[in-house]
Structure 1
Amino acid sequence: MGLFFLPGVASAADIDGASLSLAWGVPFAGVLLSIAVMPLVVPNVWHHHFGKITTGWALAFLLPFAFYFGIHAAWVNFIHALLAEYMPFVILLTALYVVAGGIYIRGSLRGTPVLNTAILAIGAVLASFMGTTGASMLLIRPIIRANAQRSSMTHVVVFFIFIVSNAGGSLTPLGDPPLFLGFLKGVPFTWTFQHIWPDTLFLVVVLLGLFFVWDTWAYRREPAQPAKVEAAEHERLGFDGKFNFVLLAAVVALVLMSGIWQSPVVFDIAGTEVGLPGLLRDLGLVVVAVISLATTSHRVHTANQFGWDPMFEVAKLFAGIFLTIIPVIAMLKAGTEGPFGPIVRAVTNPDGSPNPAMYFWATGVLSSFLDNAPTYLVFFNTAGGDVLQLTTEMATTLAAISAGAVFMGANTYIGNAPNMMVKAIAEDRGVRMPSFFGYMLWSGIILTPLFIIMTYMFF
């Protein structure tokens, strides 16, 4: 579920994941099940009270944790989750949401199969250079607007999540947080492109082909378009709010700065160390968002149907996720000694050599439900952690870890942050999106067979 941010320097009271039982993961599972089930069973209750329900699950973790480990440990880990993880997440997501919401693509945007496929292809390319979140926030509104006259467009948004919000971000460290962490560990900037481009090309091209066939079939079943849509076809393509492209570049620059710049200046806040680069990044992102709001005309925001409800929804849900996931990540980091030990041990062959296919699936399945950045690091270290060896003689193993962390984020709504944001924006504009399990049915039918084929082809 990682977003394109790095917390900088961060530490908190260590939790011995090896000593934890799976029961500590119940609140996290409760949040996920609430997101999955309650909108179907009690939609009105969920719509009006999802923030309170998420808070309840967070307290179901924090209060027992404070009782068992002490109030100080609970406070320290709460502050760590807030300052080192959640706040950078929300600040960056808000900045991208605001900046992308200030760019209006005008012109003859009619949702034909050719145009829709072209937008998805462009988004797949952009995702590796401005992050999956940046590309998703930039293009989701135009593609929804282009298809506004269509009666069936759920498949458009689902494939958008598959391609733009996930698969497209696999070619550079700018695309997705796990790859950026690998870059900071010493993996060359171009290594991912050199070793994963065949995997990415296969996945993206097949998905684009499937989408084009599906969308063509759906388009032909649409009723005749109103005459006013036909009249709009001759409007010239262009952009309003162009200054936001400069601000978008500033967002990418701030994120790169925070990851590459090493500063000895560190601020200790209740046991969490916040580095100067991360602090300046977050302040810079806030400034960028304020500048965007101040300089973007009301006409552009109105045309984009810009509103805060999707942002509020994602912020509330992920607050509970970031808190309840604390013990789950600790158990994962415990490696073979923790409750997830069987999964970690499964990636190694009996002779002690790594099994790239198992690395692909273990990293991918866990990244579908947990934060893909720490999951990447766990298996990076499980494979030895020697960057020189991993990028040469063990290149297939590192490629499997990288591909699993990025590609399989598309398996669930919470597998990658832009998934949930795209869903929220689409629903805010009246698109009927699948439920949590309904979406997993889509990904299971479409993506899982492709991942199986890729396992035999590449790993």
Structure 2
Amino acid sequence: MKSLRAIWVILGAWMPALALAADLDGSRLSVLWGVPFAGVLLSVALLPLVAPHFWHHHFGKVTAAWALAFLLPFAWVFGPLAAAAGLVHALLAEYLPFVILLAALFTVAGGIYIRGNLHGSAALNTGLLAIGALLASFMGTTGASMLLIRPLIRANDGRKHVTHVVVFFIFIVSNAGGSLTPLGDPPLFLGFLKGVDFFWTLQHIWPETLFLVGVLLGLFFLLDAWFWRQAGERLAVDPTPDTPPAAFGFDGKFNFALLGVIVALVLMSGLWKSELQWELLGTSIGLPGLVRDAGLIMVTVASLLLTPRQVHEDNQFGWGPMQEVAKLFAGIFLTIIPVIAMLKAGVQGPFGAIVAAVTGADGQPIPAMYFWASGLLSSFLDNAPTYLVFFNTAGGDPATLMGAQAATLAAISAGSVFMGANTYIGNAPNLMVKAIAEDRGVAMPSFFGYMLWSCGILLPLFALITLIWLR
């Protein structure tokens, strides 16, 4: 009995630390807790420019150093158990489900090889981007990006200028195209889990999506056609030999069925309600999520075992892009903990000015401000928790947000998805596409170079969306 009593005493002493880790009070935090997160972002932005060789070989170590720069002081101030609980929550509730889903989509899409050498004319490239935009809302921006980026690069390997093709691919396929269903992008899936109807975004932001994707496709066609007509644009020898029309097709077609399984597993985890759950250091682990993640791991293994080696060789499949995303986002998911907590604190927190800016003097939400606030923060923070912060700031009641405040929910949804294209770290597929392109010899812009593209092209379009739909 004494030993049992001692256990309860210890558990009782642990509970405040667990509660702190589960719901960190951001109003009590200094903005200095955001320094490690800012360090990760600046490392991604600057080190590839000033020390490319060092970054290429040690980006994982740099990210780990910033993670420890947050975790160790946090353990010193709030206690080792609170730090452990925060680490467990970031790992089990956020990072692992994120990486497992990305790995499944990366592996399955990498097991599909589109045979034949397409020639990257402006019309063909624009058509591929349009197909990718359509697929993105139904197989996810990651799935559509991983399926199409390799054949798109191969189609353009006989051209001198390819950078703009990949940049517009990130704008359209890796981001804007995923705005119509919860399958397209993680923020919308979180909204679905919170009670937003599956087809709500399709019904309410399709005009903005059609406008954004349509204008981007038009701009891309004009720019690509201009490059196509320049002397010396087409190389004398196409690195990929021509193939007869009969040779076009798909290898590894069974991976399409595995993509269907991935979609079914994601939907299942959102629709299946189970009271069975486990708790580890304050983090609840539900049965639907466990089943989903176990199923995704099985799908990944099945794709690796069943896909012929030749398909992977033809696709130049490798784990480098996935490793880069996994390592960088491990640091981001950990160091972002205090930043999200400070945002959740609302007007009482260090970022109270941002939260206050989205509400008018009459207490009513301002859709245009929600669009820009959720979008700009999603450009640098993980867009899924950012969506939740503003979803809850707007009241958090899905029935009200889908009804009387539909304009506000549409603004949050569009901002979180569209503006993920503003930076390489705004959405996970951005980095994956960049890594694959660089692996195939495409000279991609630096972090700030890419932002010159996004600010010059996307921000004016977002301003037009604001003027037309969010006044």
**Judging changes above 3 Å, is the alpha-carbon distance between structure 1 residues 33 and 49 closer, same or farther for their aligned structure 2 residues?**
same
* Corresponding pairs, count: 450
Letter in 2 for 1:197: W
Letter in 2 for 1:28: F
Measure, in 1, the Cα distance between the counterparts of 2:360 and 2:343. 20
Aligned to 2:432: 421
Moved more, 226-235 or 116-125: 226-235
Moved more, 310-319 or 227-236: 227-236
Letter in 2 for 1:265: L
Residue 223 (structure 1) aligned with residue 234 (structure 2):
yes
Q: The residue matched to 2:22 in structure 1 has which SS?
A: coil
Q: Which 5+ residue runs of structure 2 have no aligned equivalent?
A: 1-18
Aligned to 1:323: 334
- Cα deviation per residue 1:62-88 (whole Å; 9 max; x = unaligned)? 110000110000011011111111111
- Cα deviation per residue 1:329-366 (whole Å; 9 max; x = unaligned)? 11111111111111111011112221111111011011
Task: Tell me, yes or no, if the aligned pair for 1:11 and 1:271 is still in contact at 8 Å.
Answer: no
Aligned to 1:388: 399
Residue 119 (structure 1) aligned with residue 128 (structure 2):
yes
Letter in 1 for 2:43: S
Shift of 1:318: 1.0
> Which of residues 193, 198, 203 in structure 1 aligns to 2:202?
193
Task: Tell me, yes or no, if the aligned pair for 2:154 and 2:240 is still in contact at 8 Å.
Answer: no
Shift of 1:184: 2.3
Q: The residue matched to 1:26 in structure 2 has which SS?
A: helix
- Cα deviation per residue 1:274-305 (whole Å; 9 max; x = unaligned)? 11111111111111111101111111001000
> Which of residues 323, 329, 341 in structure 2 aligns to 1:312?
323
TM (norm. structure 1) is: 0.95
Aligned to 2:267: 256
Aligned to 2:378: 367
Q: Based on CA coordinates, which of the two structures has the bigger radius of gyration?
A: 2
Aligned to 2:252: 241
Shift of 1:14: 2.1
Measure, in 1, the Cα distance between the counterparts of 2:199 and 2:179. 11
Aligned to 1:406: 417
Letter in 2 for 1:186: G
Residue 265 (structure 1) aligned with residue 276 (structure 2):
yes
Q: The residue matched to 2:205 in structure 1 has which SS?
A: helix
Measure, in 2, the Cα distance between the counterparts of 1:375 and 1:273. 21
Determine which structure has greater relative contact order: mean sequence separation of CA pairs < 8 Å that are 6+ residues apart, divided by chain length: 1
Aligned to 1:110: 119
Aligned to 2:4: none
After TM superposition, list the pairs within 5 Å mapping 1:131-210 onto structure 2: 131-210=140-219
Task: Tell me, yes or no, if the aligned pair for 1:343 and 1:362 is still in contact at 8 Å.
Answer: yes
Task: Tell me, yes or no, if the aligned pair for 2:109 and 2:147 is still in contact at 8 Å.
Answer: yes
Q: Indicate the RMSD between aligned Cα atoms, in angstroms.
A: 1.6
- Cα deviation per residue 1:395-453 (whole Å; 9 max; x = unaligned)? 11111111101100100111111111111111111111111111111100000000011
Measure, in 2, the Cα distance between the counterparts of 1:364 and 1:126. 23
**Judging changes above 3 Å, is the alpha-carbon distance between structure 1 residues 377 and 438 closer, same or farther for their aligned structure 2 residues?**
same
Aligned to 1:49: 58
Task: Tell me, yes or no, if the aligned pair for 1:265 and 1:276 is still in contact at 8 Å.
Answer: yes
- Cα deviation per residue 1:180-217 (whole Å; 9 max; x = unaligned)? 22222222222211110100000000000000011111
Measure, in 2, the Cα distance between the counterparts of 1:229 and 1:30. 41
Moved more, 324-333 or 174-183: 174-183
Letter in 1 for 2:220: F
Letter in 2 for 1:185: K
Q: The residue matched to 1:76 in structure 2 has which SS?
A: helix
Aligned to 1:128: 137
Measure, in 2, the Cα distance between the counterparts of 1:31 and 1:192. 32
Task: Tell me, yes or no, if the aligned pair for 2:265 and 2:295 is still in contact at 8 Å.
Answer: yes
Percent sequence identity over matched residues? 71
Measure, in 1, the Cα distance between the counterparts of 2:464 and 2:274. 45
Shift of 1:227: 6.7
Letter in 2 for 1:351: D
Residue 17 (structure 1) aligned with residue 54 (structure 2):
no
Aligned to 1:440: 451
Measure, in 2, the Cα distance between the counterparts of 1:43 and 1:366. 27
- Cα deviation per residue 1:357-411 (whole Å; 9 max; x = unaligned)? 1111011011111121221122122222232222122211111111101100100
Task: Tell me, yes or no, if the aligned pair for 1:108 and 1:235 is still in contact at 8 Å.
Answer: no
Q: Which 5+ residue runs of structure 1 have no aligned equivalent?
A: 1-9
Letter in 2 for 1:32: L
Task: Tell me, yes or no, if the aligned pair for 1:108 and 1:234 is still in contact at 8 Å.
Answer: no
Letter in 2 for 1:285: L
Q: The residue matched to 1:239 in structure 2 has which SS?
A: strand
Measure, in 2, the Cα distance between the counterparts of 1:430 and 1:97. 20
Shift of 1:133: 1.0
Aligned to 2:10: none
Task: Tell me, yes or no, if the aligned pair for 2:141 and 2:177 is still in contact at 8 Å.
Answer: yes
Residue 287 (structure 1) aligned with residue 305 (structure 2):
no
**Judging changes above 3 Å, is the alpha-carbon distance between structure 1 residues 384 and 269 closer, same or farther for their aligned structure 2 residues?**
closer
- Cα deviation per residue 1:160-194 (whole Å; 9 max; x = unaligned)? 01000100011111111221222222222222111
Measure, in 2, the Cα distance between the counterparts of 1:420 and 1:224. 28
Task: Tell me, yes or no, if the aligned pair for 2:93 and 2:283 is still in contact at 8 Å.
Answer: yes
Letter in 2 for 1:277: P
Shift of 1:129: 0.7
Measure, in 2, the Cα distance between the counterparts of 1:393 and 1:47. 50
Task: Tell me, yes or no, if the aligned pair for 2:342 and 2:351 is still in contact at 8 Å.
Answer: yes
Task: Tell me, yes or no, if the aligned pair for 1:12 and 1:272 is still in contact at 8 Å.
Answer: no
- Cα deviation per residue 1:237-256 (whole Å; 9 max; x = unaligned)? 21000000000111111111
Aligned to 2:11: none
Q: Would you identify which runs of 4 or more consecutive aligned residues in structure 1 move more than 6 Å?
A: none
**Judging changes above 3 Å, is the alpha-carbon distance between structure 1 residues 442 and 331 closer, same or farther for their aligned structure 2 residues?**
same
Measure, in 2, the Cα distance between the counterparts of 1:263 and 1:66. 34
Measure, in 2, the Cα distance between the counterparts of 1:98 and 1:325. 27
